Each structure stands twice: as structure tokens, then as C-alpha cells.
Chains A and B, each alone.
Chain A
């Protein structure tokens, strides 16, 4: 219906999704686009699902993404990838962190974490980039940069110039974490291109 690019980020409270969304939106802004983002705050942050939506283009109206419209779905956790799968466009790229966070509903015995989740991911996402971002982040210097590793992979599915991404990282993260995040970003990009 219009030519905006939509990106849907999802994961669990505490995984750094909001920072990732900020870097992504800054990168789009630096590339000269109109940008809108939406994030869910509040109750969601006590270990609940956290989502962020980013849209950019010549002119963006809605900050919300329509189901089936996202060019990239970037999931920081496997179950959350499946929960948000319907947001991804049929031709879209799914970047999924090979990482499980067990919800309390599982430990308390009222539900189970699906064993066959990898098959579900393969079945549901024809264009799937599935890897252990936490391990790549650790190689880059800190596990906590897993969010930026995932962003690196996400960048492969988008059309923003690499320099704007790097500039956005420099602009967004605290100065002492710039180096490690630049490395993390490169690692994610490499993972998605391989």
C-alpha cells in the first residue's frame, strides 16, 4: 500500500531490544529517511515479551506495522520468533537468535517449551538466518552485545548504507562500548552473509 520499510523486533525484557531499535531508527534517519518507531513499555518489562517496530521511507504515517508487512523480523529469542511470525512479509528475512529463555509458566509446570522449535522456524521462514548471536557477541568482546550482532544480521535484509549503520552505532551507544559494538555488528553481518 506504500513503500515504507518495516522491521519488527521481538524478544524478552532485558535483552536490549530498545537499544537495537534506537540504533536502527538512527541509521534510517541518517540515511535521510522519515522514521517512526513504536515500543511496548510498562508491564511487559518484568520478563514479558518486548517488541519494537521501526518503519522508514520517504513519508511514514503509521508507527505500527501491519501483519504480513515486515521486511525483516529480528527475534532475540526462538519462541518469540514464532509468536511474531505473522508480522513477516512472505518474502521477508527472519533473523533468529539461537537462544532460549524459559518462561516461568514452563518451570512452574503449566506449559512446555516446544522441543521441535527449530523445525518450526525452518518451516515458517523460507529466508531464515539462524545462529547463536550470544556466542558471536562473546567473541566480539561481551555477551551483552548480542543485540547489536542481531542488528548486523538484520542490516543484510535492509537497504541502508553500511556507513550509516556504523555512524548510528557511534551516535547511540556509550562511548566506551562503541568499539565492541562495531565488532559485534560486523560479526552479525558476516553471519548473515555466509
Chain B
């Protein structure tokens, strides 16, 4: 490597590589596409695996207005408004977010877009960090609009740009669907420059923009006409292509599954569908006619397969490919073997792995939520929970959350249990971001229809679980401007709740007292547990705690709060000083005063 020619070659290689491409995640590539395509407005609500799109758009805030909206419905409508002025606009969310935004989606499909409108929706097959698995392609068919599915980062960027163009050409909203493996895989992308798209401003046109029944009926017809008009385009689009190879087996593949197919079936011809709906019927027919056997490889539903069969074309698909969970190249290898009448053994973890301690995610050391769960553990209560870091309170040793449904349901379901006459005390729990997202209306229901659960709002002023995004309580916008901090107290009172308290749960005994008193009151109570997320706001960090081995009687009461800094090794309770954030919860619950701040040197 030290010889001169080798070094020169290396240097030129390095230079070439550097000028060629960048390694970007799907989310980063989409953010880049938003910038390059001249998008003016980019909004969304955080949700894994979609969150990093807007976080990266923030880099381009000189050119692109970006915001975290309180929820996906609002975000969708903000982007729709922007599109009607002629501006290119996008909205980002995870799959379940589209359920929240389904209402505007189903009518924007009638009203249509002016400036390019793309809803970027990230699915999570395999549920890496989601409460369900749903196939967003069904929404595209439901709403009768195009859906694009990239298979790597470069395509994610390119398809976004293509989606905006399609949207303008056919005056339709478009969905760009990614999955976790597209969003979070990094692959090479060739960067381009930004091309501006100046909006012409809103042009009044009520028959086009106002779906009162008389105008909605012709809009309804236009939706169908639009689908027909797209048919030739979808077959000719470079997003859909046939890669001819052997004629024995032909595979129709979508999204990341295309990559697995190319690796596991190198000899097969492939019809890669990047724009699957409206279905490219002619292309499918042409491909099917050119191969002896047809297989559809798609994650989750049999979306394409069902359609292929409806065209009268025989194919394999979900009879081999599972419709639950995500695919992988390993899974396809086994499927290939099965198709060939063999059985590949599963490569299981080594035997010793079954004896390993599980390592589930847990609340961080010093997370104030822990005190809330520990306190609730003292009462016989039902806790209707919600989605956030605090969902982790469901696990041992805290075991203090009984239900989760969707954002905001922590409040509304508590009301439902109360009006059904549930005998135990009912606690509804949500976070600050979840409260702003869709908890307010549930609280209004409690105030108006007069039930009396205890609602705990875990207020750490940040959307922690998805990586600490700002929310209306943070006092900071995504673009870095200071703003008003929404007051949960004011919201609660405006919803008709009279007993509203804001307390620090780490003042543990007082917190327990407040809970006790609230459970004994025949009125609804809102307790705002106000304490910062320790990972986001280091101001809460205190002196590290230690255990005095002479005073500790190894009753292990402190271990029941599940703090990762508390260890029990070689018969002793110890505190890992590198992890402890000094929240003092263990000190407050130790019955023998064995825990104290370490003495400063």
C-alpha cells in the first residue's frame, strides 16, 4: 500500500467516490428530494420510522417551510392548503398516522391538488416500533390515488420528485409509501440541485374546491376518469420496469422485497413495480405472457396478487410468502427451497442464546415517569395508557399500564370504563405530545359528560420516544424559533375540569398523597406530572446516588422500580454511577435510609 502507484490509485478512487454519491438513509434521501423538488411546505407528526424526514428537512429551512403539527390530520390539512395555492407541499407520518388523517385524505382525493401534493407514509412491517401492522397500499385503492413504493434511498428521492410531478399533472394527491427497511437503510444517492417552483397563489374556483353535493358529484366522476387517464402512464413509467432474464420464473416484486428477490432469484425475470396503483394491467399481462410461472413477492397484504388473479392470470404469492411480518432474504431463500420441493433448515440462534437475559427497552435511569408508575403500584387501579416512552411502564417490574389503543385513547377509554361502571379506580394516562395530538377532545368529553377518572398527563415538554421532537408545549418550533408554550392547565380547565394539579412526581410522598386524595373525590382530576425528560434536558440531573452496604438489608424494594442503574450482583444492591442520574426515587423508597448522594470529593 506504500508504493506510489497504489497510493495514487487510492487517492483517485477516493476523489471519484467523494464526488459521485452520498450514503443516505431513505428518510434523508426523501428530505433531500423535498429540497431538490422545490417543495415550499413540509409538515408532519413524528412517528417511527418516518421521523427523520422532517428532522432533515430542517437543514433546508431557508428554502422549505417545515413544522411539526399537533397531529397528522392537522398536518395533512396544512399541506392541502399549501397545495391549493400552487405550492409544492408534502406531509409525513407513520402508517397509523394516516388513520388519523384519513378524513382529509378521502375528500382531498375529490378536490385534488394544485401544487404537487405527496403524503409520505412509512409502514412498519414486523412492528419494530408500532402497535399494529397495516398496509398503506390499501388506502391508495380506497382513496383512488396513485401510490409509489421505492426500493432504496435513490428511488425514495426520485419517486418523491416523480410523485410531485404526477400530482400536478393529474391534479391528484399521491402517496409515497416507505417501510422501515427503506426508511432506515442507507444506500448511495447522487445529489442534485434545487429547482424552484413558484406558487401562482390561490385562484378562486368553487366548483373545483368546494365539495358540496352538487359539486362533489362531478368531482366523484372525475376521480374515476383520472384513474383511467393514468392507465397508459403507469405502464410506461420508468418506476415500473421489466428486467428480463430466464423465462421459467417471473417475479413481480414491490418495495424492498425487490432487493431480496434480486439476491435470492438471480435467474428469474422480474417485474419491478414502483408505482403499483392504479395497476399497470398491460404491463402485468405482457410480463405474465413471457414467463412460464409467475410469483408475486410483496410484504403484508396480497395487494398486487389479488389484482393479478382478477385479471385471470394464475400466480403464486401468499401461498408461499407470509402476509404477516416483514420479508428478508433469508426468508426468501427458504421459500425458494420450498418452491423447489426442498426444506431449508431455519438458522436459529445458538442454543446458549435461550439462556440469555432478555434486554427489552426500559425507561431511562432518572426518567420521572418511573415515579408515577411506582406510585400507582400502591393502589388497586386500572390504568388506560397511551403511546410514548411511558408505554414501557407496561413491562415488569413496573407492570402498571393495562391498556393501549392509539393516541388519545388513554383519556377517552378511562371515561368509557367509568361510564360502564368499572368498580376499580380508573386512571387515564397520556403524554404531553399525545394530549395535544388527540387527548384534548377526550378530556372535553369527560368534563362535559361528567365522569370522574383521574387523568395523569406526563408532561416533559417534548415528544421523547421518537427522538425528542418539539411539540406545542416545548416553546420552540421545528425551524428553531421560540414560540408560545401551550398550557395543559388552561386546556384542562377549558374542558371543564376543576381539579387540576401540576406536580413533580419525584416529590414522591406528596405525589402519592395527591393520588390518594384524588381517588377519594367524586370529581374528575387532572394531574400534570411535570418533570423534564432527563435525556433531553440535562438540567434535571442531580448527584449520583450510592448504597451504603452497612445499612442495606437487601430487601430489594428499590429493585422493583426497574431503574437500569440499580444492579443486584454478588448478593449486593449497587448503583452504577455511570448510569445513575440522581433522581433520588430509590432513596425515597428505601425503607432503611441506605441510599444517599455520593459525598462530593
Contacts and interface: CB of A to CB of B under 8 A. Distances in A.
A63 B181 contact: yes
Interface in A152-166: 161-164
Interface string A88-114: 000000000000001111111111111
A106 B264 contact: no
A37 to B, nearest CB: 5
Contacts of A126: none
B321 to A, nearest CB: 16
A35 interface: yes
B360 A36 contact: no
A110 B396 contact: yes
Interface in B242-267: 256, 259-260, 262-264, 266
A77 to B, nearest CB: 9
A48 B361 contact: yes
B48 A108 contact: no
Contact of B396 (A40, A61, A64, A108): A108
A28 B454 CA distance: 56
Nearest to B261: A61
A94 to B, nearest CB: 12
B128 A42 contact: yes
A30 B17 contact: yes
A161 B1 contact: yes
B337 interface: no
A43 B128 contact: yes
B269 to A, nearest CB: 16
A61 B359 contact: no
A166 B350 CA distance: 35
Given A38-B184, A82-B353, A62 B259 contact: yes
A2 B396 contact: no
A187 interface: no
Interface in B108-144: 128-129
Contacts of B7: 163
B559 A107 contact: yes
A161 B465 CA distance: 39
A105 B128 CA distance: 20
A162 B357 contact: no
A120 B568 CA distance: 23
Interface string B264-294: 1010000000000000000000000000000
Nearest to A44: B361
B23 A35 contact: yes
Contacts of A46: 361-364, 389, 392
Given A30-B13, A32-B13, A46-B362, A64 B49 contact: no
A142 B49 CA distance: 33
Contact of B188 (A13, A35, A79, A114): A35
Given A46-B392, A61-B263, A41 B364 contact: no
Contacts of B1: 161-163
Contacts of B556: 109
A139 interface: no
A62 to B, nearest CB: 5
Given A107-B566, A120-B350, 11 more contacts: A1-B266, A29-B17, A29-B21, A40-B128, A41-B129, A48-B359, A48-B362, A60-B187, A83-B349, A86-B353, A108-B560
Interface of B: 1, 7, 10, 13-14, 16-18, 21, 23, 48-49, 128-129, 152, 181, 184-188, 256, 259-260, 262-264, 266, 328-330, 333, 347-350, 352-353, 355-364, 389, 392, 396-397, 465-467, 556, 559-560, 562-564, 566-569
A-B pairs, 7 with minimum CB distance: A42-B129, A67-B347, A46-B361, A48-B361, A63-B185, A111-B357, A42-B48
20 contacts: A1-B333, A29-B23, A30-B14, A32-B17, A40-B128, A41-B467, A43-B129, A46-B362, A46-B392, A63-B186, A63-B187, A83-B356, A86-B347, A103-B359, A104-B360, A106-B568, A114-B355, A114-B356, A120-B352, A167-B14
